[in-house]
Structure 1
Amino acid sequence: MSQLTSADRIAYLDTAAATPVGQDYKRRALDALDLRPGQTVVDVGCGPGTDLGRLADAVRADGLVVGVDRDPGMLAEAGRRLADRPWIDLRVGDAHALPLDDISMDRARIDRVLMHVEDPAAALAEVRRVLRPTGVLVVTEPDWDTLAVADEDVATSRRFARFVAGQVRNPTIGRELVRLSARVGLRVRSVEAIPVVFEDFGTADRILGLRRNSARAVAAGEMIDREVRPWLRRLSAGPLLASFTLYLVTAEA
């Protein structure tokens, strides 16, 4: 996503959230947070506010939702979308240094953010700092090393998967969440491994960047154009199957 414009990133996040698997895992994450009216909750890396409305509806007007993001443009879009909920507080900040007081939050949420940060353990330690005793963190992250695209040309599919994983700062963060959470003093309650499956070329292309990333891989010399072109034709003609694993971890301070 680092190669996308701000508008493209917003569109990407909205598209991913609208897919059936996106709706499913976000519902599971919201259930795991177990939000109650009057609670305080922080969404670390809230982006354009994709999920802030659901958090705000759960804690209601006597609660507080803090959306933190390092991109002022994302927060501006979130503010535009959520102007009708004044108990949402949007703050510019970094996951490694949250603009929050110690032990000030009942709940914390991280969704596909740690795969991008410089130091995931430091970001988790920050969440541990701001959570109240027995406060709950729910974090969802992919494991891009599990990406697989089904095709008769297995070698080209593997090259594509390796290239995509190589574009992510922390591609295996999903499988590392339990270890890193324990390192910073969080007690893991549960772990879910959620298969993310694509059977539609259009959706897979938007989320995985089948055409965009394969073109970049060719330009980088990591895929071969004469092999990529028929590979994409077969995928677009279908049937298509591609998948990766998303981990949902619930932990307690």
Structure 2
Amino acid sequence: MLRTAASDAGRAYKQQLLDLLDIRAGQTALDVGCGPGADLPALAERVGDGGVVIGVDRDPAMLTRARERTGGLHRVEIREGDAHALPVEPGTVDRAKADRVLMHVAEPADVLVQLHRATRPGARIGLVEPDWDTLIVDAEDLGTSRAFTRFITAEVVRNATIGRSLARLAEQVGFRVETVLGTTPVFQDFPEADHILGLGRNMQNAINDGHIDRDRGRRWFDGLSRGPFYASFTLVSVLCTR
């Protein structure tokens, strides 16, 4: 997660999200699924000494890293909790973000209901999710690239196409959608793409599960490291107001 956030594509969309949220000094900002706390210092800088940043995650290891990362920031609170039952008082949050969280949860709409409950009227909420149906990997064997994307969407990511549904789901729970943006992270460095997108790991799983022929899958993966490399997908950012 930290390597993804530190990549050029990661920094660009995260900065865009912070700009859209327009966080003001003295506000309360909520980071749902804060993970290791990569975004919490930036949020704390924007709310200032009079504001509060709340980071919520259910993974104890991620919470430990988030606490270590924000140990010197007295205005940051790290709370253990599930996105389906946010440990936040109703109507107390001015700004909230959920970045690549809804693709993993059991019920995305229920998480959005929780965000609606936690935020006060006039609050801004930023949502960012990929649409893994748009994942493309350049290879001479186009059929295997397509089979790889189908495996990701059907077997690897729980809510693989949540990006395209964000605006619709947000409106259904009562938010007003103000902005919808699409960003296309482009990967031309094979080792970086392999690390972030899990090309080798997921191809091996696809082979083991019988979705892709072993020899064909190995030839496909081996060919990616030879010559120019290209992969991309669409990341959807939605700004809502309460």
What range is the shorter-chain TM-score in? over 0.9
Q: Could you tell me which amino acid in structure 1 is paired with residue 240 of structure 2?
A: A
Partner of 2:79: 91
1:233 CA displacement: 2.0
1:193 CA displacement: 0.7
Partner of 2:221: 232
Deviations 1:211-242 (A, max 9, x none): 11101111001111211222122210121111
Deviations 1:75-130 (A, max 9, x none): 11110111010110010111111111111000000000000011111101111111
Partner of 1:46: 34
Partners of 2:134 and 2:116 in 1: how far apart? 28
Q: Could you tell me which amino acid in structure 1 is paired with residue 67 of structure 2?
A: G
Partner of 2:188: 199
For the aligned residue pairs, the C-alpha RMSD in angstroms reads: 0.8
1:185 CA displacement: 0.3
148, 163, 177: which one aligns with 2:151: 163
66, 69, 80: which one aligns with 2:54: 66
Q: TM-score, normalised by structure 1?
A: 0.94
Gapped runs of 5+ residues in structure 1? 1-12
SS in 2 for 1:193: strand
Partner of 1:178: 167
Matched length = 241
1:42 CA displacement: 0.4
Partners of 2:199 and 2:159 in 1: how far apart? 20
Partners of 2:57 and 2:227 in 1: how far apart? 38
Query: Is it true that 1:138 corresponds to 2:120 in the alignment?
Result: no
SS in 2 for 1:96: helix
Partner of 1:57: 45
Gapped runs of 5+ residues in structure 2? none
Partners of 1:108 and 1:98 in 2: how far apart? 12
SS in 1 for 2:101: coil
Q: Percent identity?
A: 49
Q: Tell me if the contact between 1:201 and 1:238 (Cα under 8 Å) persists in the aligned partners.
A: no
